[in-house]
Amino acid sequence: MEIEDIFSELPILETDRLLLRKLQLDDKKDIFDYASDPLVCKYTTWSVHESIEESKNFLISVIKDYNNHQIAPWGIVDREDNKLIGTCGFVNWIVDDDRAEIGYALSRKYWGKGYMTEAVRAVIAFGFSTMDLNRIEARCKIENIPSAKVMEKVGMKFEGILREHLFVKGIYHDLKMYSILRREWVELLIKS
């Protein structure tokens, strides 16, 4: 299976409260609303967006990935008000090993309400059922406790600390590594 086979047309994913869909240029204001928040960007690899133009450039880059059938994130839309509130998706896919890594970001206005857990569950289901993955990983900076909680809530297991694994914003960061295996995901489905 090739990346292009799966990502030639990013499908819409639906949950109870969310719609995960392709990002579009019209999302620039919603992206800027959360990407300009220093608290949202505190744990991300990208810096605070200083202008709507930066958000537009991000969207242009993502749309280019869509058009080239490359891995790119879904936009997370709150179905109640049709507002884009974040992104979630795969940040890499090692096809030969049947594993991929998830990354995500969410508007602070929606923190603590289970939205990201809902989105990550949908992306994990897509990864195991459509991409035929065996392992899905996620990493976060040690101090990013809310992100670690999301990983735990979706059934991921803590594997350890990757010491000074990421150099971003001028310093090295230790990362927590989490993963879930296909068989563990199937067991969770059976239990629920």
* pLDDT tens digit sequence for 156-190: 999 999 999 999 999 999 999 999 999 999 999 99
Instruction: Please name the amino acid found at residue 81.
Output: D
**Does pLDDT of 16 surpass 90?**
yes
Spatial separation of the C-alpha atoms in residues 156 and 138, rounded to whole Å: 8
Spatial separation of the C-alpha atoms in residues 20 and 89, rounded to whole Å: 9
- CB-based contacts of 166, cutoff 8 Å, min separation 6: 45, 139, 141, 172, 173, 175
Q: What share of the chain is helix, strand, coil (3-state, %, to 5)?
A: 40, 30, 30
Sheet containing 157-168: which strands, arranged edge to edge? 13-14, 18-21, 74-78, 83-94, 99-106, 135-141, 171-181, 157-168
Higher pLDDT, 192 or 41: 41
Q: What is the pLDDT of residue 192?
A: 81
Q: What is the pLDDT of residue 3?
A: 77
Spatial separation of the C-alpha atoms in residues 118 and 129, rounded to whole Å: 17
Give ∠ CA 33-168-134 in degrees, rounded to 5.
85
Domains in the chain, ordered, with CATH? Answer: 3-136 (3.40.630.30)
Judge if pTM exceeds 0.85: yes
- Segment holding 186, helix H or strand E: helix 182-191
| pLDDT tens-place string over residues 139-157 | 999 999 999 999 999 999 9
Instruction: Please name the amino acid found at residue 32.
Output: F
